[in-house]
Amino acid sequence: MFVKNITLRLQSISLSVWRYSLLKHILFAVATLVSLLTMGYYFGTLDQASHIPFLKKFADPSLYPNDYFIDLRLHHYSFFWFLFIPFYKLGILEISMFVTYIGVLYLTFWGLWNISKKLFNNPLTSFLTIFVFMLPHIGFSGFPVVEWTLVNRIFVLPFLLMAINLYLDKRYISAFFLLGILYNLHIVSVNFVLFMFLFASLIKIREIRYQNIIAGFIAFIIGALPVLIWKFGGSPVQLESNPEWFWVVSRGVLYHLFFLFGSNFYAPLLTLGGVSSIILFLIARKALAGLKHTTTISLFMIALFIIIVVQAFASYIYPSTIIIQSQIFRAGLFINVFALLYFTHYVVKLYGTKKINNLHFVLLITTIIFSVIPAVLLVVLLIRKVISSQYWVVLTSFIVPIAFVTLAILGYALNVWQPGIHIYPQKSAYVDVQLWARSQTDKTDVFITPPNKSWFYYIEWRVGSDRSSIASLFDIAEIAVVPQGLSPWKERFEKLAPGVIQKFNGDPFASIRQTLKAYYSLSAEDFKRIAKTYKASYLVIEKPHRYELPKVFENEGYTVYDVKSDE
């Protein structure tokens, strides 16, 4: 009776939300808050380790002199961060980015609601869809729908969902034009949707008509013209392979973006999640084949699968530079979106047609929501086929929470999941050093900094200090997009962490450990030689390591030494 009351209440609330706009927007607001609290928010981490310094350099050209890394900004083709330059100059960059992030989360849930409504026209499905996407679901590449920081791929996502809606509405020119506008903000994400549209359009050319395809593509070119002019006036498209560059970026810290399998546990785990999503979609598609847009979404999924295959071919056989640059395993995000949308409605339909009872319905929906890795959902579904109903209920009640808690503990232990809201740089001894450098040293000063100090939640040196550094292990994330950066990075990094590059094996945790060990194997004389070579003024050392050098700053975690050349 208790479970039945839950299902009746869900149906009642979903109908109310469906009918009344205010309740719908309250639901989106609640989803935004839950997602924010669950995933957290951080300033200056992840991709912002490069984007924030780039933004600052565009706004103030006097910053970051003699830093090879900052020159890579000229080859990062996006106008997104230019939008924040006025806020940076007003001193409200952090606030403006947080407000934008909240708005993007809200719009993403709105976009998911609209897609669900368009595909299924079912109040309960749309309502449950919002709950499903409040928590992360990981597949190919490991990128969840919602991330914990503002980056341009997150910003464009709700608008890409809007473009998909326009396409399903047969408003092809508007859909392609919107993609063109978004191309100026994040090329890679738009390429995925653009390929989906073109593939589906060509397969359905008799229905869509070639005139609409041509007109749509012209509309896309018009919308994308600013960034296309920038791109073709800059570095050319490189179809040839660059084996050394690919080896470094993939084996250094980004193995999961290129390979399906490996000796490390996380690459196969992500692949298992992606493959599970495809299987779940196929199961749902078979039952929902009669729906209006199922054929189109199926073509989208085929297009996305082709992208995954192309990336696998490039990674294992011919590492074409443009394919590796594009990191097209990221298309797995859309595979997850479509799979979860369809499987959620599949469960709702099973319940609506009395093929499952109230208890099974609640357990399946709960499993969808809490299956961080979709493989958990697939396992639960397969078990249901082979054991009795009573045992399945008991087993599922154990499997789902155990899997969720295990993954949460693992994520926390590996520092890949750290909930918390940090509108400004998170306070730490390392950030304290950065703030000292910003306020007490000249803009022209160059620092030798620990090259291992960055990760998902660390504030990278250049972000907090506004000062140049020699090199970082995590500069690789930007070099993966801009191959021109490999040579200067390799030269600098080899001096800071001698012998580490040769030891890269695809395990980022091992790369971090080896970099840390190599950095602190250097002597005071080694650091002085590096300082002379790159005109560095200061050396940052983490305690308890100490050197016989002039000390200029110290806190509970770090010591800063003066290493200016005597010449």
Tens digits of residue pLDDT in 251-270: 888 888 888 887 677 788 88
> Do 161 and 237 belong to one domain?
yes
Q: Per residue in 288-307, pLDDT tens?
A: 988 999 999 999 999 999 99
487-504 average pLDDT score: 94
The DSSP H or E segment spanning 422 is strand 421-422
In a domain, 418, yes or no: no
Q: What are phi and psi of 404, to 5 degrees?
A: -65, -50
> Do 370 and 445 belong to one domain?
no
Query: Residue 240: its pLDDT value, please?
Result: 82
85-106 average pLDDT score: 96
Instruction: Band the pLDDT of 9: cuts 50, 70, 90.
Output: confident
Number of neighbouring beta carbons within 10 Å of residue 265: 10
Q: Per residue in 171-229, pLDDT tens?
A: 999 999 999 999 999 999 999 999 999 999 999 998 888 888 999 999 999 999 999 99
> Do 395 and 335 belong to one domain?
yes
Locate all alpha helices (DSSP H) within 1-139, ordered by sequence. 2-19, 21-39, 48-59, 85-89, 93-120, 123-132
d(CA 284, CA 297): 12
Distant-in-sequence contacts of 452-456, Cβ < 8 A, 24+ apart: 452/497, 452/512, 452/513, 452/515, 452/516, 452/519, 453/542, 454/49, 455/45, 455/415, 455/512, 456/45, 456/46, 456/148, 456/415, 456/416, 456/418
In a domain, 58, yes or no: no
**Range of 243-247, 260-264, 345-349 with top mean pLDDT:** 345-349
Q: Which among 159, 136, 130, 131 has a CA at the least distance from the CA of 148?
A: 136
Would you say residue 61 has pLDDT above 80? Answer: yes
Handedness of CA 440, 423, 558, 517 (dihedral sign): negative
Which tokens go with 423?
């509108």
377-396 average pLDDT score: 88
Would you say residue 420 has pLDDT above 80? Answer: yes
**How many angstroms from the chain centroid is the CA of residue 457?**
13
Cβ atoms of 531 and 447 within 8 Å: the answer is: no
Q: How many domains does the chain have?
A: 2
Cβ atoms of 133 and 79 within 8 Å: the answer is: no
> Do 401 and 550 belong to one domain?
no
Would you say residue 537 has pLDDT above 90? Answer: yes
> Do 441 and 364 belong to one domain?
no
> Do 198 and 289 belong to one domain?
yes
449 or 419, greater pLDDT: 449
Would you say residue 234 has pLDDT above 70? Answer: no
pTM: 0.92
> Do 449 and 344 belong to one domain?
no
CA dihedral in degrees (455, 459, 462, 464; nearest 10)?
A: 180
Q: 1 Cβ partners below 8 Å, 6+ apart?
A: none
In a domain, 35, yes or no: yes
**Helix, strand, coil tally for the chain in percent (to 5):** 70, 5, 30
325-340 average pLDDT score: 91
Query: Residue 76: its pLDDT value, please?
Result: 82
Q: Which of 219-228, 329-338, 446-455 has the weakest average pLDDT?
A: 446-455
> Do 460 and 537 belong to one domain?
yes
Q: Which among 374, 339, 338 has a CA at the least distance from the CA of 164?
A: 338
Query: Residue 565: its pLDDT value, please?
Result: 64
Q: 152 Cβ partners below 8 Å, 6+ apart?
A: 51, 78, 80, 81, 185, 186
In a domain, 7, yes or no: yes
Query: Residue 231: its pLDDT value, please?
Result: 83
397-403 average pLDDT score: 89
Q: What's the one-letter identity of residue 188? A: V
Would you say residue 355 has pLDDT above 70? Answer: yes
Q: Is the link from the previous residue into 401 a cis peptide, with omega within 30 of 0?
A: no
Would you say residue 536 has pLDDT above 80? Answer: yes
Given 413, 439, 471, the domain boundary residue is 413
Which residues are bridge partners to 446 per DSSP? 468
> Do 314 and 403 belong to one domain?
yes
> Strand 421-422 to strand 468-469: parallel, antiparallel, or no bridges (unpaired)?
unpaired
Instruction: Band the pLDDT of 508: cuts 50, 70, 90.
Output: confident
> Do 381 and 435 belong to one domain?
no
Query: Residue 566: its pLDDT value, please?
Result: 55
Query: Residue 387: its pLDDT value, please?
Result: 87
Instruction: Band the pLDDT of 532: cuts 50, 70, 90.
Output: very high
Given 413, 445, 480, the domain boundary residue is 413
Given 352, 387, 413, the domain boundary residue is 413
> Do 399 and 448 belong to one domain?
no
**How many angstroms from the chain centroid is the CA of residue 279?**
23
Cβ atoms of 351 and 361 within 8 Å: the answer is: yes
Q: Per residue in 128-183, pLDDT tens?
A: 999 999 998 888 877 888 888 899 999 999 999 999 999 999 999 999 999 999 99
In a domain, 551, yes or no: yes
Cβ atoms of 478 and 53 within 8 Å: the answer is: no
**Share of residues in the chain with pLDDT > 90 (%):** 65
Mean pLDDT score across all residues of the chain: 91
Q: What are phi and psi of 5, to 5 degrees?
A: -65, -35
Task: For residue 410, give Cα distances in angstroms to 53, 142, 403.
Answer: 31, 14, 10
In a domain, 276, yes or no: yes
Which tokens go with 555?
């806190």
> Do 467 and 549 belong to one domain?
yes
**Share of residues in the chain with pLDDT > 70 (%):** 99
In a domain, 11, yes or no: yes
409-429 average pLDDT score: 85
d(CA 42, CA 540): 24
What is the domain extent for residue 372?
A: 2-39+77-413
In a domain, 145, yes or no: yes
